[in-house]
Amino acid sequence: MTLPADAQAALDSFEHCSGWEQRARLLMQWGQRLPELNDADKTDANRVHGCESLMWLVGEQVDGHWQFAASSEARLIRGLVALLLARVNGLSTQALQQVDLPEWFNQLGLSRQLSPSRSNGLNAVLVRMRELAG
């Protein structure tokens, strides 16, 4: 299975990352690249609850390919979401349903960010994404 180009780039950089500081720097860089959502999309209906920071997620299918966009006030969670979107954007519904996202974060060395005690909201984003993609 081939990864989307962005996802491959993420994997290349995170795989060789040593130590929490480098990982944090990388996460923040990825977060910076995440395009800002329009204010019009920052509605209650698009809010993802269960996050310590305000977060919104929108998604639509263009020609059968999913395009998600998201925004968060917190920089590290923005980075985590950017890594998530790198993996899923452009996929068909069927492909989206098949990706193993916990495994994706595991490959990136970020599996702890998905532990149930984490209130950073990454889990809540995954749930919302599944709802959107039906």
List residues binding other proteins (CB under 8 A). 20-21, 23-25, 28, 51-54, 73-77, 119-120
Cβ(129)–Cβ(57) under 8 Å? yes
Provide, rounded to whole angstroms, the least separation between the CB of residue 76 and other proteins: 5
Q: Which is nearer to other proteins, 52 or 60 (CB)?
A: 52
Q: Is 51 a catalytic residue?
A: yes
Cβ(60)–Cβ(67) under 8 Å? yes
Q: How far apart are CA 122 and CA 50, in angstroms?
A: 9
Name the active-site residue from 51, 86, 125, 126: 51
End-to-end Cα separation, the chain, in angstroms: 23
Q: Which is nearer to other proteins, 28 or 133 (CB)?
A: 28
Provide, rounded to whole angstroms, the least separation between the CB of residue 24 and other proteins: 6
CB neighbours of 46 closer than 8 A, spacing ≥ 6?
Answer: 56, 57, 58
Phi, psi torsion values for 65, nearest 5 degrees:
-115, 135
Provide, rounded to whole angstroms, the least separation between the CB of residue 59 and other proteins: 23
Q: Which is nearer to other proteins, 4 or 109 (CB)?
A: 109
The catalytic residue positions are: 51
